[in-house]
Amino acid sequence: METYLLEWAQLLLRWLHVIVAIAWIGSSFYFVFLDSNLVPPQDPDLKAKGVGGEMWAVHGGGFYNPQKYLGAPGHINSTLHWFYWESYTTWLSGFALFCVLYLWQANVYLIDPSIHAWSTQVAGLTALACMVGFWLIYDTLCKTLGQRVHGERWLAGVLLVLVAVLCWLFNQLYAGRAAFVLMGATLATTMSANVFFCIIPGQRIVVKALTSGQPFDEASLAVYGQRGKQRSVHNTYFTLPVLFAMLANHEGLLVNHPQRWALLFVMMFAGVLIRQFFVQKHSWHLGKAAHPWPYALAGVSLILALVLALWPRTGTTASANADQSVTFEDVQAIVNQRCVSCHGEKIQMKNLRLDSPSLISANAQNIYQQVVVLRQMPMSNATRITEQERQALGRWFLAGAPGP
């Protein structure tokens, strides 16, 4: 019953998480696009009101004319729309999913004893501490290094080093799949913390000053706008790395690689470069920036380099074993030892049982895909399946998956 309810909880939380993440990322991408495409207004009335940029757009049969003020507008006389629930709901749903999947079932998803054998409580608390700790370090760097002349460039360099260290550290402590998720969750926590602790509080102060009817110092309010802009820009560069880390944890090719930390970091960095291409592309069309093609070229080149580096090669061991026949009894012995603990009568993960010859034959395709091709199972290799056993299952399936 518990396994059944956990399956539904994972499904519904993952569904909610994806929906609200689309809303958050979509609004973030839209406002970056908007900022990059604003042009100075020609209308004297708009200039007199303090409008620093505008653009025209058409969508869904209607025309839109977004405007951005150089400073705080003199007044706000209509409904003010806030953009923060998308961020909060994304983080809350993601954290709930992390708790259900990785903390509640830490011995299955979070811990791989062959990498680092420790208690589920310590592993979970350490993961949470890393999420909070990275935010605190990042926030301190933004308030110090990020405020200096050319500080943003130095800040970017320091953050790259910190992310690389975290990629390495997580992969020394946790199962491969969990390490990828933790890296994504750490950056996502920082993104949401930026909204909760910096962007929204600053905006509330500005709105309160504008709607109070009292005189206000526009220069002092501008500080909150600058701070919010800084964190918003950082968030847009975190987005593609976070998405990759969250999605790639399902790819056995990456999460089971001996140098998976380096693969993760390189792909996340490629995401930053590709995001820079799209950010700068909008400004380039208006003559505000140089052509962004070098960033796209660099990002795509890194990805292609990894594709070539990971290209499957026929090893001598595989060649030597290629002609060795595998009986159904051999397959059943492997499945009983490595799979039935999670797919038997007592525990039926994914509502799947493999504790009889007929069930093994009926799920031959699934076994081959999950264990041999994707290498996702056993989860975190908790039952210590060997490479020779994976190859044996592969040869059995390719030979037609003969039954008993």
pLDDT value at residue 265: 98
pLDDT tens per residue, range 111-146: 988 899 899 999 999 999 999 999 999 999 999 999
Tokens of 110: 């979070």
Q: How confident is the model at residue 323 (pLDDT cuts 50, 70, 90)?
A: low
* Average pLDDT of the chain, as a whole number: 90
Kindly indicate the confidence band of residue 36, based on its pLDDT and cuts at 50, 70 and 90.
confident
More confident residue, 267 or 287: 267
14 pLDDT more than 90: yes
Decide if 235 contacts 83 (C-beta within 8 A).
no
Q: Is the pLDDT of residue 236 over 60?
A: yes
**Mapping DSSP to helix (H, G, I), strand (E, B) and coil, where does residue 51 land?**
strand
**pLDDT tens-digit profile of 155-199?**
999 999 999 999 999 999 999 999 999 999 999 999 999 999 999
Q: Is the pLDDT at 350 greater than 90, yes or no? A: no
Domain boundaries, the chain: 2-37+71-309, 324-398
Tell me how far apart the alpha carbons of residues 102 and 119 are, in angstroms, rounded to a whole number: 13
- CA–CA separation, 224 vs 204, rounded Å? 10
Closest CA to 178 of 107, 96, 269: 107
Peptide bond between residue 378 and the one before it cis (omega within 30 degrees of 0): yes
pLDDT band at residue 218 under the 50/70/90 scheme = confident
pLDDT attached to residue 314 = 59
pTM over 0.95: no
* Statement: residue 311 has pLDDT above 90: no
DSSP conformation letters of 276-331? HHHHHHHHHHTTSS---HHHHHHHHHHHHHHHHHT-----HHHHHHTT----HHHH
Contact 371, 390 (CB under 8 A): yes
Which residues make Cβ contacts (< 8 Å) with residue 187, sequence separation at least 6? Answer: 134, 163, 238, 241, 242, 245
Quick check: 268 and 306 in contact, CB under 8 A? no
Could you give the dihedral angle defined by the CA atoms of residues 200, 246, 236 and 145, in that order, rounded to the nearest 10 degrees? 80
Sign of CA dihedral 280, 286, 288, 294: positive
- Tracing tokens 């010859």 back to the chain, one arrives at 357
Which of helix, strand or coil describes residue 180?
Answer: helix
Q: Within a 10 A sphere around the Cβ of 261, how many other Cβ atoms? A: 22
- Candidates 343, 402, 361; CA nearest to 3 is 343
pLDDT of residue 202: 92
Tokens representing 181 are: 């998720």
Backbone angles phi, psi at 286, to 5 degrees: -100, 10
Amino acid found at 260: R
